[in-house]
A and B are shown apart, each in its own frame.
Chain A
Amino acid sequence: MYNIKKMYNAETISDAVKFLTDNEDAKIIAGGSDVLIELRHGKLPNATLLNIRDIKEMQGIELINEDIIIKPLSTFTEIAENQIIQERIPMLAEAVNTVGGPQVRNIGTIGGNICNGITSADSASTLFTLDAELEITGPDGTRNIHIKDFYIWVAEVDLKQGELLTKIIIKKESYENYFGHYYKYAKRNAMDIAIQGCAVNCKLSDDKTKLENVRIGFGVGGPIPLRCFETENKAKGKLINNELIDEIGKSVLEEVNPRTSWKATKEFRLHLAQELSKRVLREAIERAGGHIND
């Protein structure tokens, strides 16, 4: 038996906002693959839960003026199998397919993956490199923020009292002509948590010889998912060759800040950051139709 004191089933977003505003200690539950485990481990004793899984407005994936709107209750399986995602941002399908195993992907939601504020979330680094915008709804209406501003610290995100994540928006200009890749480094191929995850999304010049734009994201590159903006700026407009890739691999080391944990040491994670950024970038460039010249 789970140690649940009270569970409220919200049917609309406004219903959920009202309950969250009135119940300061309420914990949102969607898929349950994080919350029920915390409950099982005794970390949420006597919990007041707000069940949002029946809120229709928060389900599904839509295309509005070619902007992709992912509702937060979308499960990893739904995202991986969705045509809009597969055709426009296949790297997100690739990323969410590395989460847990099939049963976990059937229940886990992308909203929960982001809102629990954990650096190893497989969807997060990819959403960073897609410049995802988040719509947050609260008692005063909605506000939109870039996903990089949503993460504050470990397990701490920018959700104020009464607020919940209601949309993940990926604008057309953020994904059009971009090609990306996500690689999860873990000890097992399934049912494991990333020792580090790296996502690279790039756009090449028309002749495919230059990096017109590149976005590099890491999970477990620091306490929260991060982007390597300085490296990205340095790489912009540069000719694609091995030298550039090596430079990028070195440069990301100035921007990541991993720690030693029981899974891996800081030194190993730094080694991974350099190596993964290079390999993932190579793959992204190849997917974009580019070649790496010597």
Chain B
Amino acid sequence: MIEIIKCKINGRDQEIAIDPRESLTDMLRNKLGLTSVKKGCEVGECGACTVLIDGKSYNSCIYLASWAKDKSIITVEGLTSENGELSPVQKAFIDESAVQCGFCTPGLLLTATEIVNSGQKYTREELRTLISGHLCRCTGYENILNAVEKALNQEN
């Protein structure tokens, strides 16, 4: 079974031949080589596979590739500028040592990007709720929250 879908991936229009049975995670990793999208629990609990679809965070493991038709999808590969410069959110994660093993990082970077792009201000408690769909087993979340707060304060 093959189905051709059109969608925008990291700002570029693409036509992709997908299998209607595959998840968006599999499409992004296997068809497009976007391996920043991690396979964690694969049942929508850990947030490692999070991508932005039309600006909002979704677990790509419980999202069928065929649903991506006509959508705009952003992965970590799309966060850097054309000359390879890191985004403010990525820089903040480095500055605050918010990365240890790195497995949850791509998903968190995207949720953090959504938070920063919202243009709103949030308390630390609200930020905790907003990143609650991501499991991190290394950092204890404090440095991640510091990074999100830093990126948020810089941008807004």
Q: Are B63 and A107 touching (Cβ within 8 A)?
A: yes
Q: Fill in one digit per residue for A75-114: 1 if any B CB lies within 8 Å of its CB, else 0.
A: 0010000000000000000000000111110110000000
Given contacts A104-B44, A107-B63, contact A2 B58 (CB under 8 A): no
- CB of A271 within 8 A of chain B? no
Contacts of A3 in B (CB 8 A): 21
Q: Are B62 and A101 touching (Cβ within 8 A)?
A: no
Separation of A4 and B57 alpha carbons in the complex (Å): 25
Contacts of B133 in A (CB 8 A): 100-104, 190-191
Q: Are B67 and A53 touching (Cβ within 8 A)?
A: yes
Separation of A160 and B8 alpha carbons in the complex (Å): 40
- CB of A7 within 8 A of chain B? yes
Given contacts A36-B62, A36-B64, A53-B67, contact A106 B57 (CB under 8 A): yes
- CB of A189 within 8 A of chain B? yes
Q: Fill in one digit per residue for A23-37: 1 if any B CB lies within 8 Å of its CB, else 0.
A: 000000000110011
Q: Are A103 and B59 touching (Cβ within 8 A)?
A: yes
Separation of A101 and B20 alpha carbons in the complex (Å): 26
Within 8 A of B (CB), among A16-48: 32-33, 36-37, 40-41
User: Which residue of B19, B47, B63 is within 8 Å of A32 (Cβ)?
Assistant: B63
Q: Are A2 and B44 touching (Cβ within 8 A)?
A: no
- CB of A64 within 8 A of chain B? no
Within 8 A of A (CB), among B51-95: 56-59, 62-64, 66-67
Contacts of A32 in B (CB 8 A): 62-64
Separation of A115 and B47 alpha carbons in the complex (Å): 25
Contacts of A40 in B (CB 8 A): 42-43
Separation of A104 and B133 alpha carbons in the complex (Å): 8
* Interface size bracket, B side: 20 to 34
Task: Give chain A nearest CB distance to B114 CB in angstroms.
Answer: 9
- CB of B105 within 8 A of chain A? no
Q: Fill in one digit per residue for B1-31: 1 if any A CB lies within 8 Å of its CB, else 0.
A: 0000000000000000001111100100000
Contacts of B130 in A (CB 8 A): 102
Task: Give chain A nearest CB distance to B99 CB in angstroms.
Answer: 20
Residue of B nearest to A189 (CB): B132
Residue of A nearest to B135 (CB): A191
Q: Fill in one digit per residue for B85-121: 1 if any A CB lies within 8 Å of its CB, else 0.
A: 0000000000000000000000000010000000000
Residue of A nearest to B59 (CB): A103
Residue of A nearest to B45 (CB): A191
Separation of A176 and B128 alpha carbons in the complex (Å): 34
Given contacts A37-B44, A103-B47, A103-B57, contact A1 B21 (CB under 8 A): yes
Additional 10 contacts, C-beta under 8 A, given A102-B111, A107-B63: A2-B22, A36-B23, A37-B62, A101-B134, A103-B50, A104-B133, A106-B58, A189-B132, A190-B132, A191-B135
27 CB < 8 A contacts A-B? A1-B21, A2-B23, A4-B20, A32-B62, A32-B63, A36-B62, A36-B64, A37-B43, A41-B43, A53-B67, A77-B56, A100-B44, A103-B47, A103-B57, A103-B58, A103-B111, A103-B133, A104-B44, A104-B59, A104-B133, A106-B57, A107-B59, A107-B62, A189-B129, A189-B132, A190-B132, A191-B45
**B residues whose Cβ falls under 8 Å from a Cβ of A:** 19-23, 26, 42-45, 47, 50, 56-59, 62-64, 66-67, 111, 129-130, 132-135
Top 4 closest pairs, chain A to chain B, by CB: A101-B133, A190-B132, A103-B133, A36-B62
